[in-house]
Amino acid sequence: MKVLVTGAAGFIGYHVCKLLQARGDDLVGIDNLNDYYDPSLKLARLASLGEDFHFEKIDIADFSALSDLFRREGFDAVINLAAQAGVRYSLENPQAYVSSNLDGFVNILECCRHFPVRHLVYASSSSVYGNNSKIPFEESDCVDHPQSLYAATKKANELLASCYNNLYSIPATGLRFFTVYGPWGRPDMAPMIFAKAILAGDKIRVFNNGNMLRDFTYISDIASAVVAVLDKVPKGHEVYNIGCSNPVNLMDFISSMEKALGKAAQLDFCPMQAGDVVATYASCAKLKRDFGYKPQVQLAQGLQLFVEWYISDNNPIK
């Protein structure tokens, strides 16, 4: 297939591109390479994809550039991973989320409408579940009470994709990712923040006094599921959780990180951060039923692999 991957220089985008490259797809990647976090990490990911990787610096919020690309390339499928990420940053810069996650996503849908593709796969988020008390979270649960603007934009993406499917018959699949971690990860997420602080002897801010649960999901399980979903075109619009179905207490996560690094953490216990949720917990029964999904990497192994990368020369920002 000829596949467009947006957000190709991002954490998940990079790993998805590696898999698509390995199996020989005709691949085009785009990214706006913004400075939400250190662009040198994004550039290093792109460099790791090799000189033959077809990359163009395009912002999905730029409809003219995006539509020109669709017209020129004639894609069979699109994996839209480009988005302004981060729950906490949405409190500081809401316009970035409107531009990328709303305007940009509508631009993707419009391009898929005018330059038809077989399948649009797009990133949603476990954040859409908010503080649901029913666990594990299932795709059929009510997601009408987001706790952050970021979560609201992801819920909006699902509604927009469903609408475009109804109106224009665009087959689309939304993926609700649960706390992704692993090599080449984002520096604004817990594994990178904690590893840096522990090794430097700095304090880690532990929100809600450590009383939080996260369904940590290793990046290879995420990327493999994305590619599997891409290959199966739905009849309409579908949504799937991609998690590990094994939520871990934040203090246990820190303990596992300490073991992997061989050094104790200095902790600064803090109250709950605005926009955060107490727990995430994925039911992956639907993904298992339709794709045989079973996560392969458990937390201890995943953190060891992450730490090996983090302290290696492949990490440009350690």
CB atoms within 10 A of CB 97: 23
Q: Is 150 assigned a catalytic role?
A: yes
Output the six-digit token pair for 165.
């499917």
| φ, ψ for residue 132, nearest 5 deg | -50, 130
- Beta partners for 248? 214
Cis peptide before 316 (omega within 30 of 0): no
Q: Are 79 and 230 in contact (CB under 8 A)?
A: yes
Of the residues 150, 218, 240, 310, only one is catalytic, namely 150
Catalytic residue list:
150
